[in-house]
Amino acid sequence: MAPRDVIETHIVNLSAAVSYPFETWRGTIGFVLVTVATYALLILTTMPEFSIQMLGDGLHWFEYVLVSLTETVYRTDGWTGLAVVVLYALLSGVAVVNAVAQFRFVGTSSLADLTGIVPGLLASGCASCGAGLLGVLGFAGGLAVLPYDGALLRVGGLGLLLFFLGRAGHPERCGVATEGAK
């Protein structure tokens, strides 16, 4: 296959993967739930101690914490930083819905295509500050020495998500071309 054909195939597969959650109401609801949960997790992990202290006092602080930390991300990183968090949450929603669908249709052997999403989910950590989930796992010190405050890691994580979504394609269709088919 020529490089141009590979890129075109990847873009078609990525488009199919991104549109899949919107084919059914169940997929759309799953996408929205996972996206909102991922956004909340990413925002709450920008300042884990603050989140733990406030939410430890009661869940009635959840809205305040979410809004305050969203504002903090915006004031720290601007629209770009907030857009990265939102894009990361959206792609995570697509990836999780597609992984569940692919597992439902093909079984455990299908998860080999989507195992590359896990490094993207963990490597990006908190898409807003660079520490986040990896900081919770104890890797914040390693992220502190990265150039550009871990921005390259966040971009790399988003790139991994896009690459593996494009590689996996539509969960209900086989992405392997036969010799006679084009």
Q: Is residue 173 part of a domain?
A: no
Per-residue pLDDT at 76? 84
Q: What is the pLDDT of residues 109-129, one digit of tens each?
A: 655 555 555 555 554 444 444
Q: What is the pLDDT of residues 136-175, one digit of tens each?
A: 555 555 656 665 555 667 777 788 888 888 888 888 776 5
Q: Is residue 92 part of a domain?
A: yes
Pick the range with the lowest mean pLDDT from 3-12, 100-109, 145-154, 168-177: 145-154
Q: Is residue 132 part of a domain?
A: yes
Number of structural domains in the chain: 1
Share of the chain above pLDDT 90, in %: 28
Q: Is residue 19 part of a domain?
A: yes
Q: Is residue 180 part of a domain?
A: no
Q: Is residue 60 part of a domain?
A: yes
Instruction: Judge whether residue 82 has pLDDT over 80.
Output: yes
* pTM, entire model: 0.76
Domain that holds residue 130: 3-167
Write the secondary structure of the chain as one string of H (helix), E (strand) and C (coil). Answer: CCHHHHHHHHHHHHHHHHHHHHCCHHHHHHHHHHHHHHHHHHHHCCCHHHHHHHHHHCHHHHHHHHHHHHHHHHHHHHHHHHHHHHHHHHHHHHHHHHHHHHHHHHCHHHHHHHCCHHHHHHHHCCCCCCCHHHHHCCCHHHHHCCHHHHHHHHHHHHHHHHHHHHHHCCCCCCCCCCCCCC
Instruction: Judge whether residue 62 has pLDDT over 50.
Output: yes
Q: Is residue 174 part of a domain?
A: no
More confident residue, 75 or 175: 75
Q: Is residue 40 part of a domain?
A: yes
Instruction: Judge whether residue 40 has pLDDT over 60.
Output: yes
